[in-house]
Amino acid sequence: MSSLRGVLIVAAVACLPTVLSVRAAGVPVGTRPAAGEASVQTGRDHEPLVGTYKLVTTEVKDQDGTWRPTPNYDSIGYITYSDSGYMGVHVMPKNRAPFADNPPTPEAAQAALRGYTAYYGPYTVHADESEPFVVHHRVGQINPGGQVDAKRFFDVIGNQLILTPAPASGGKAQATRHVVWERLPDAPLSAEAKKFVGFRELLYTDRYTERDGRVVTHGQKNEGRGGSYIIYTPTGHMMVHLMAREGRTPYAGAAPTPEEALAAYRSYGGYFGRFTVYEDDNPPYVVHNQEGRPNPGPPTDAERLYLLSGDVLRLGGRPRTTNGETRGGHLYWELLPPLTGRPE
């Protein structure tokens, strides 16, 4: 099977809720890839930033040094930092035009990705510097060739977090743009919902077919998007970053051509919003209340049957039955342990 075809098959498994189920055999325990060599950072080092924040605005610096809101800026998004050393972010412009065709044209994909930011990975905090900063060590992002380590100066003022992208040269004083975020309060989650909270890494997906209540075929593990993240936060928010492991080509220029944008769109899925757990139903399920995603169409609520077994969360949509056969599949997500250091 070609790598491109494998990517498309996994994308179909991941994005179609009717193809996923939790009815097959039990949850396996996987082996997470090792975190890299590191210098130690503990949860205490992360304390200045730990939390989930909602995007407020961006500001630009005038020639006289005054910070002012970016004209006509109208985007939504969230950024989250865990005490275990991981972070994730989704930001998108509002009021994007839905795709006229499915699949989208290259030009439509290019328009959909314009202004869309999404990435995930570990982070390290340097709070003792004269100008405190955080580094986002991006292990995955919607831009297939984007900068890996992103340095951001930070200021915490009450409930606001101000992140200032470090300029190519010079320090914070030379920066001309920053992003303002507002910390969100924790939500009154149920005991079951609290079990979801954390950063999880995709181990693999699989598919199966049942006939007369018996599994007659069970597809092989597909690891084509292994290493992707799903994130649930104490504030009741969640986000998914579903990225192909192979076959992603960096843009030739600073911005993608239509064809490059379409390739990036096809190889990076995800969404962000809130989540609600219905543990008393049989079978139990979780609803991902989407607020945004790379696809510019109206967000939908994604219902996922679930099974928690140790550190592994198995998710899947309700299966589809046709001509006496029931088809489904699963995504297996393993809870990431606290990082003991900084990836090199």
Contact between 184 and 53 under an 8 Å Cβ cutoff? The reply is: yes
Q: What is the token pair recorded at 105?
A: 């044209």
Contact between 61 and 67 under an 8 Å Cβ cutoff? The reply is: yes
| Alpha helix positions (H), 173-270 | 191-194, 258-266
Domain boundaries, the chain: 3-34+188-335, 43-183
Strand pairing class (160-165; 325-335): unpaired
CA atoms of 134 and 152, how far apart (whole Å): 5
pLDDT per residue over 47-98, tens digit each?
899 999 999 999 999 999 999 999 989 999 999 999 999 999 999 999 999 9
Query: For position 46, what pLDDT does the model report?
Result: 86
Q: What is the token pair recorded at 95?
A: 């009021």
pLDDT over threshold 50, residue 10: no
CA atoms of 182 and 123, how far apart (whole Å): 19
The SS3 assignment for 42 reads coil
Residue with tokens 């995709």: 202
Residue with tokens 């809130």: 274
CA angle at residue 97 from 93 to 102, to 5 degrees?
Answer: 120
pLDDT band at 26 (very low <50, low <70, confident <90, very high): very low
More confident residue, 27 or 80: 80
pLDDT over threshold 70, residue 4: no
* 30-56: average pLDDT: 67
Give one DSSP letter per residue of 282-304, joined into a string: SS-EEEEEEEE-SS-SPP-EEEE
Q: Which CATH architecture best describes the domain 3-34+188-335? A: Beta Barrel (2.40)
Torsion sign (Cα): 245, 109, 319, 290: positive
Q: Is the pTM of this model over 0.75?
A: yes
Contact between 32 and 162 under an 8 Å Cβ cutoff? The reply is: no
pLDDT per residue over 91-133, tens digit each?
999 999 999 999 999 999 999 999 999 999 999 999 989 999 9
CA atoms of 321 and 326, how far apart (whole Å): 4
Cis peptide, bond prior to residue 144, ω within 30 of zero: no
Among residues 84, 111, 82, 78, the alpha carbon closest in space to that of 95 is found at 111
pLDDT per residue over 147-202, tens digit each?
899 999 999 999 999 999 999 888 999 999 999 999 999 999 999 999 999 999 99
Compute φ and ψ for 162, nearest 5 degrees.
Answer: -110, 115
CA atoms of 322 and 119, how far apart (whole Å): 38
Using a pLDDT cut of 90, give the percent of the chain over it: 71
Contact between 271 and 290 under an 8 Å Cβ cutoff? The reply is: yes
Q: Which CATH architecture best describes the domain 43-183? A: Beta Barrel (2.40)
CA atoms of 196 and 302, how far apart (whole Å): 16
Using a pLDDT cut of 70, give the percent of the chain over it: 86
Contact between 99 and 265 under an 8 Å Cβ cutoff? The reply is: no
CA atoms of 9 and 241, how far apart (whole Å): 17
pLDDT over threshold 80, residue 20: no
State the helix-helix crossing angle for 106-113 and 258-266, rounded to 10 degrees.
Answer: 70
Q: What is the token pair recorded at 49?
A: 């930033």
Query: For position 341, what pLDDT does the model report?
Result: 53
pLDDT band at 256 (very low <50, low <70, confident <90, very high): very high
CA atoms of 98 and 109, how far apart (whole Å): 10
Query: For position 163, what pLDDT does the model report?
Result: 98
Compute φ and ψ for 246, nearest 5 degrees.
Answer: -130, 165
Question: Which of 40-44, 178-182, 219-223 shows the highest mean pLDDT?
Answer: 178-182
Whole-number Cα distances in Å, 69 to 29, 56, 133: 48, 10, 22
Among residues 131, 138, 29, 104, the alpha carbon closest in space to that of 265 is found at 104
Query: For position 40, what pLDDT does the model report?
Result: 52
Q: What is the token pair recorded at 141?
A: 């992002």
CA atoms of 328 and 257, how far apart (whole Å): 36
Mean pLDDT of the chain: 86
| Domains 3-34+188-335 and 43-183 fall in the same CATH topology | yes
pLDDT band at 221 (very low <50, low <70, confident <90, very high): confident
Q: What is the token pair recorded at 33?
A: 């890839």
